[in-house]
Structure 1
Amino acid sequence: MRQTNLTDDFSVSAIGLGCSSMSHGYGPADRDDEESVRVIHRAIDYGIDIFDTADVYGPYTNEQLLGRALGSHRDDVTIATKCGLVVGPDGKFRRNGRPEYLRTACEGSLRRLGTDSIGLYQLHRVDPAVPLVETWGALGELVTEGKVRALGISHATCEELELVHSVFPITAVQYELSVWSTSTLDDVLPWSQKNGVGFLAFAPLGRGYLSGHVDHTALGADDSRNRDPRFSPDAMSVNQAIVEGLRAIGARHGVTSAQVAIAWTMAQGGNVVPIPGTRRRHWLGDNAAAVDLLLTPEDLRDIHNLPSAMGEMSWDQFRSTGSPTHRS
């Protein structure tokens, strides 16, 4: 697995592993902690060395799972976790960017992950009730103290990125980016490239849809994709044209639509690292193999000409939503 530079002095594998779905989001029916541990071990075998999680996934159980699975490999990989979101008594997400909370949250993540230092600590959401410079300044102190190596941020505007980057350098931003979710191509991705900041692309497979293996009629009642407008029956029918287009391109190379989707994400810039999630070793191998797929100009043109996804949210809608469907 080749490496990608997030910044000049911070590199990770060209494809990472998103761990959220192992404990969170898609419903409990298909969760299998022991298989998830095997997926993480297999990822290490493939050379994947960045693993993305968050304290709110579970909550807490995803960090515990990752910490247990990494074991003696903990110091050989980059653990990327997040803070700043909490689950209230009603089950809804709330933002908390208070400095004293973030320090407590970091201590909890360190304990659950079984490590002395978090590789990439990311602010999951900006808390409008707290001055952003205070939130980011507190996170910068954690780096100074050695509890965190580098900082990242998710779902911030370019103006917010400019502000925090001037207070303490951003190593990576994290946003959804895929063939059917392209809103960050106009502003956030160019900003990251201009400023020498890495871009972690979550959901490069469209929460599984772009693999062609998701049947919306079989989603469990607790599956968060039921609340995603792209997964409504009408939208799924229309959006099938995107999957068929990816399959046709994959046929030229003898690869899957999932590999084409991941390769497209990597092709958006040399600082882009897709972090597809999976709970099965078979799909992990498929995803990891995308690192060797180089799309041609014809392939990229054909993908550009695919129809837009029905149900795709605008950037402003995506950023402001409180739905647990739209999260990294």
Structure 2
Amino acid sequence: MMDLTFSLGGDLPVRRLGLGTGGLVGPGYWGPRGGRAEAVALLHSAVERGVTLLDTADNYGPDLAEELIAESLHPYDERLVIATKGGVVRTGPDRWHCAGRPEQLRAQCEASLRRLRVDSIGLYQLHRFDPAVPMAEQLGELARLRAEGKIRHIGLDTVTAEQLRLALESAPIASVQNPYNLLDRSSAEVLALCEARGIAFLPYYPLGSGTLTHESAAAVTAVAAEHGAGPGQIALAWLLHHSPVLCPTPGTGSLSHLAENLDAATIHLTARELALLDALAD
């Protein structure tokens, strides 16, 4: 039977189907989206439904997503793991730049600690490697923050397999966040390395930015009909079946969409259905 849990870094258990918080802020990750009450209600509903992994970032808003999490859920359930990110600075909708100097990473991490109202962040992910700063310096600062207890585990966002191999020589890496979904398997080599090393893979755009929910693929539509489900639910169920290290965190600002996403964990795909869906990438 499919295991719906994963242990981040070997010691931090989470349910594999989590919630991304980018959908709680405005377009281009800029400004608010709707009222705060709606965001608070959605976060409460997610936790009540058993979500234990929240995926956020300091630049969502900016600052806003982290503030909403604290406003909604602090003091936190001891099972809840907040994964946040630093290393970029957002300057407008869909506009940002890398900020990976050690002093920048430290300041961003400490600001996230204050906004989230915690002494330690369960999973802190480097949002991008800054090409202007040696990798060793960026990872070295994260390792120091970990040694100080300010972060428990280190993750990486948007990396190649070679970058991941090099990073593993400098610091323990608990997670990777790369694009991966039914139609985009471009990070297959990264996924294989994560499987070999016991590293969580948090696929972003698990629904292909909405393209997988428009019933565009005949195989997805057919499998969805067999289960009385939507195509997005099948896309998420496929990720959960495809690899035990995949931990999708689809984002949404809708309570009904949240419920639909979380119900995907109850869908058990047959070998025949998995073969049909696997073939979509051929």
> TM-score, normalized by length of structure 2?
0.92
SS of 1:208's equivalent?
A: helix
Does the 8 Å contact 1:5/1:271 carry over to 2?
no
Aligned to 1:279: 253
Question: Deviation of residue 241 (structure 1)?
Answer: 2.8
Q: C-alpha separation between the residues in 2 aligned to 1:79 and 1:88?
A: 24
SS of 2:6's equivalent?
A: strand
What stretches of structure 1 of length at least 5 have no aligned partner?
A: 213-239, 309-328
| Distance of aligned partners of 1:97 and 1:28 in 2 relative to their CA distance in 1, 3 Å threshold | closer
Does the 8 Å contact 1:74/1:115 carry over to 2?
no
Does the 8 Å contact 2:224/2:230 carry over to 1?
yes
Aligned to 2:16: 14
Q: C-alpha separation between the residues in 2 aligned to 1:210 and 1:62?
A: 25
Does the 8 Å contact 1:84/1:124 carry over to 2?
yes
Does the 8 Å contact 1:152/1:172 carry over to 2?
yes
Does the 8 Å contact 1:6/1:271 carry over to 2?
no
Determine if the alignment matches structure 1 residue 297 to structure 2 residue 271.
yes
Determine if the alignment matches structure 1 residue 46 to structure 2 residue 21.
no
In structure 1, which of residues 59, 78, 82 is the aligned counterpart of residue 81 of structure 2?
Answer: 78
Aligned to 2:98: 95
SS of 1:189's equivalent?
A: helix
SS of 1:274's equivalent?
A: coil
Question: Deviation of residue 157 (structure 1)?
Answer: 1.6
Q: C-alpha separation between the residues in 2 aligned to 1:32 and 1:67?
A: 16
Between 3-12 and 15-24, report the one with greater CA deviation. 3-12
The residue type paired with residue 225 of structure 2 is: A
SS of 2:202's equivalent?
A: strand
Between 154-163 and 129-138, report the one with greater CA deviation. 154-163
Summarize deviations over 1:86-140 as a string: whole Å, max 9, x none.
1247973111110011110011101111111111000000011111011001001
Does the 8 Å contact 1:250/1:256 carry over to 2?
yes
SS of 1:149's equivalent?
A: strand
Summarize deviations over 1:269-291 as a string: whole Å, max 9, x none.
11111101111111111111111
| Distance of aligned partners of 1:193 and 1:85 in 2 relative to their CA distance in 1, 3 Å threshold | same
Q: C-alpha separation between the residues in 1 aligned to 2:233 and 2:92?
A: 40
Summarize deviations over 1:1-48 as a string: whole Å, max 9, x none.
942233432321120100012114367795332111111111111111
Q: C-alpha separation between the residues in 2 aligned to 1:132 and 1:197?
A: 19
Q: C-alpha separation between the residues in 2 aligned to 1:109 and 1:80?
A: 11
1:302-321 correspondence runs (5 A): 302-306=276-280
The root-mean-square deviation of aligned C-alpha atoms, in Å, is 2.1
Question: Deviation of residue 72 (structure 1)?
Answer: 2.1
Aligned to 1:205: 207
Q: C-alpha separation between the residues in 2 aligned to 1:98 and 1:29?
A: 29
| Distance of aligned partners of 1:132 and 1:24 in 2 relative to their CA distance in 1, 3 Å threshold | farther
The residue type paired with residue 118 of structure 2 is: T
In structure 1, which of residues 174, 181, 194 is the aligned counterpart of residue 196 of structure 2?
Answer: 194
Question: Deviation of residue 209 (structure 1)?
Answer: 3.0
In structure 2, which of residues 42, 67, 72 is the aligned counterpart of residue 69 of structure 1?
Answer: 72
Summarize deviations over 1:143-185 as a string: whole Å, max 9, x none.
1111111010011122211122121100011112111222112
Q: C-alpha separation between the residues in 2 aligned to 1:104 and 1:252?
A: 51
1:18-37 correspondence runs (5 A): 18-25=20-27, 31-37=34-40
What stretches of structure 2 of length at least 5 have no aligned partner?
A: none
The residue type paired with residue 59 of structure 2 is: V
Aligned to 2:7: 5
Determine which structure has greater relative contact order: mean sequence separation of CA pairs < 8 Å that are 6+ residues apart, divided by chain length: 1
Does the 8 Å contact 2:177/2:203 carry over to 1?
yes
**Count of residue pairs brought into register by the alignment:** 279
Does the 8 Å contact 1:51/1:80 carry over to 2?
yes
Q: C-alpha separation between the residues in 2 aligned to 1:91 and 1:40?
A: 24
Between 48-57 and 80-89, report the one with greater CA deviation. 80-89
Q: C-alpha separation between the residues in 1 aligned to 2:150 and 2:179?
A: 27
The percentage of counterpart residues that share the same residue type is 37
The residue type paired with residue 138 of structure 1 is: E
Q: C-alpha separation between the residues in 2 aligned to 1:48 and 1:270?
A: 17
Q: C-alpha separation between the residues in 2 aligned to 1:29 and 1:195?
A: 38
Question: Deviation of residue 53 (structure 1)?
Answer: 0.7
Does the 8 Å contact 2:31/2:62 carry over to 1?
no
Aligned to 2:111: 108
The residue type paired with residue 196 of structure 1 is: G
> TM-score, normalized by length of structure 1?
0.80
Summarize deviations over 1:243-292 as a string: whole Å, max 9, x none.
x4322211112222111000111122111111011111111111111112
